[in-house]
Each structure stands twice: as C-alpha cells, then as structure tokens.
C-alpha cells in the first residue's frame, strides 16, 4: 500500500496587483476589500454590457439586412 504524503504547510498569499504593486488581499482593511469587490463587480458588469452590445449590434445588422433584402424583392 502507498503511504499518504501531505504537502508541507506554507503561507498562502492572496495577491492582487494594482499599478505594478502587489498587495495581499488578506492584509487589506475591510473597507479596502469592499472597494475591491465593487471594482471587480463593476468589471464583470462592464464585460457583460459589452457582450450584450455586441449581440444587439449583430442582431440589428441582421434585421436591417433582412429588411433591405425584402425591399429589394420585385413582386
């Protein structure tokens, strides 16, 4: 039977880099963590909004192309 080996315990850093300076999130104040969470949430929302705008632009273009095609059909 193989013996179970456990990894040595090391201190885990939870780093974030802002303006080329690395900060340990675990050493931040509660207020700094809240501000960081706001920034992260706003980044997610901005990315989602960009994704939605891309979809809307493609959808609009498709509908506009369908409109132009239907107008060019000779009856």
**Residue extents of the structural domains in the chain:** 27-72
* Pairing between β-strand 15-18 and β-strand 21-24 as defined by DSSP bridges: antiparallel
All residue ranges of the chain with pLDDT < 70 are 1-11, 75
Q: Please give the model's pTM, rounded to 2 decimal places.
A: 0.69
d(CA 17, CA 23): 6
């Amino acid at each position: 039977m193989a013996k179970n080996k456990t990894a040595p315990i090391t201190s885990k850093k939870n780093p974030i880099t802002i303006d080329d300076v690395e900060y340990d999130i675990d050493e931040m104040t509660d207020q700094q963590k809240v501000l960081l969470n706001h920034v992260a949430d706003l980044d997610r929302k901005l990315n989602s909004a960009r994704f939605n705008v891309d979809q809307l632009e493609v959808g609009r273009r498709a509908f506009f192309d369908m409109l132009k095609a239907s107008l060019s059909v000779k009856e």
